[in-house]
Chains A and B, each alone.
Chain A
Amino acid sequence: EIVMTQSPATLSVSPGERATLSCRASQSINNNLAWYQQKPGQGPRLLMSSASTRATGTPARFSGSGYGTEFTLTISSLQSEDFVVFYCQQFNNWPPTFGQGTKVEIK
């Protein structure tokens, strides 16, 4: 199974600043990568699919990039609701697998 590694585990950023989250796959997954946002006590919410395609309702401040094994989620200007946990997921191979998550906290 493909192992997804996210970095950093915790990211400290001030509101209004830019945040860059990384995700690496143990082998090439083409662009078959999704990003999710998870708020405390809730199920994850799909933010991005196919590495760079925003899901319905995802604000424009979120952008995704990457191909192969290296991927990035960028939040251009952090809002209060963005200080939560983000997961990447590959769906190139079965079973789909997730990274361990990056927690974005207020600096």
Chain B
Amino acid sequence: QVQLQESGPGLVKPSETLSLTCSVSGGSINGHYWSWIRQPPGKGLEWIGYVYYTGRTDYNPSLKSRVTISMDTSKNQFSLRLSSITAADTAVYYCARGSPTPDSWGQGTLVTISS
């Protein structure tokens, strides 16, 4: 059974770039879509974007100018970079397998934006 684990800093300063990595175990990153979704505290879920194993990506238009999702097949990982962050980017960030209906999710990592 595939397992996903998010990792990265829990506190990031405003205007900096948020970087998270998702490590995939129990299965290959090849042949699948890999997604990032976030959930601000007390709010609903927001789709960030996905990367296909071919390298193709698509992003939420509301975040497109600031987002990059990439993958490293040699490490069985994929990553999220979100630039020019503000307090509004404070959220639990989830990585997941599949798009648009992910069937496996990580447990999520809380990223707080604060100086």
Interface residues of A (CB under 8 A from B): 1, 34, 41-46, 49, 55-56, 87, 89, 91, 94-101
Interface SS of B by simple majority: loop
Shortest Cβ distance from B47 into chain A, in angstroms? 5
- In the complex, the answer to whether A91 meets B100 with C-beta atoms within 8 Å is yes
**What's the count of A-B pairs with C-beta under 8 Å?**
49
Beyond A44-B45, A100-B44, A101-B44, is A91–B107 a contact (Cβ under 8 Å)? no
- In the complex, the answer to whether A43 meets B47 with C-beta atoms within 8 Å is no
Choose from A1, A42, A56, A98 the contact partner of B45 (Cβ within 8 Å). A98
- In the complex, the answer to whether A95 meets B60 with C-beta atoms within 8 Å is yes
Tell me, yes or no, whether B14 is within 8 Å of chain A by CB. no
Choose from A1, A43, A56, A87 the contact partner of B94 (Cβ within 8 Å). A43
Q: Roughly how many angstroms separate A96 CA and B47 CA in the complex, as a whole number?
A: 6
Shortest Cβ distance from B5 into chain A, in angstroms? 11
Quick one: closest A residue to B64, CB to CB?
A: A95
- In the complex, the answer to whether B101 meets A49 with C-beta atoms within 8 Å is yes
Interfacial chain A residues near B72, Cβ < 8 Å: none
Quick one: closest B residue to A34, CB to CB?
A: B101
Q: List 15 A-B pairs, Cβ < 8 Å.
A: A1-B61, A42-B108, A43-B106, A43-B107, A45-B105, A55-B103, A89-B100, A91-B101, A95-B47, A96-B99, A96-B101, A97-B47, A98-B46, A98-B47, A100-B44
Shortest Cβ distance from B24 into chain A, in angstroms? 14
- In the complex, the answer to whether A95 meets B61 with C-beta atoms within 8 Å is yes
Interfacial chain A residues near B45, Cβ < 8 Å: 44, 87, 89, 98
Interfacial chain A residues near B101, Cβ < 8 Å: 34, 46, 49, 89, 91, 96
Tell me, yes or no, whether B71 is within 8 Å of chain A by CB. no
- In the complex, the answer to whether B105 meets A87 with C-beta atoms within 8 Å is no
Shortest Cβ distance from A19 into chain B, in angstroms? 20
Interfacial chain A residues near B69, Cβ < 8 Å: none
Choose from B44, B106, B108 the contact partner of A98 (Cβ within 8 Å). B44
